[in-house]
Amino acid sequence: MDAVRKLIKKIRNQHPPPKRVETPVEKFLKNIAIEARKERDWESDIANKREHNFTLAKMALSELREQQRQERERQVEIAKQRLKNLKKARRVLAKQRSKDAQ
């Protein structure tokens, strides 16, 4: 047990190795790497945002086309109903004219 305590004391009393000082070249290269990473991340974010906006635009366009298709169908139904009413009105008018003519 004494040997273990001596070893622990020896380890605790040791000073950490001195920190290595960065040279100006290493600092410069490190800054260049950081700037390159920032630039790459920025471009990636822009690409992602463009992709997202493109997807939103496609969805909006498809919704608009669907609304336009529904509106066309509604207008066709209205036109059919008007034509039906017009035919009926012509028949009624023709009956009245034939009654008046007699």
Digit-coded pLDDT (tens) for 67-80: 999 999 999 999 99
- Distant-in-sequence, close-in-space partners of 58: CB < 8 Å, separation ≥ 6: none
Is the pTM above the cut of 0.95?
no
Chain mean position to CA 66: 20
Mean pLDDT over each residue of the chain, to the nearest integer: 92
Cβ–Cβ < 8 Å for 30, 22: yes
Rounded CA gap, 52 and 18, in Å? 50
Rounded CA gap, 93 and 101, in Å? 12
pLDDT over 90 at 55, yes or no: yes
Q: What angle do CA 74, 76, 79 make, to 5 degrees?
A: 110
Which tens digits make up the pLDDT trace of 33-53?
999 999 999 999 999 999 999
- What number of other Cβ atoms are within 10 A of residue 76's Cβ? 10
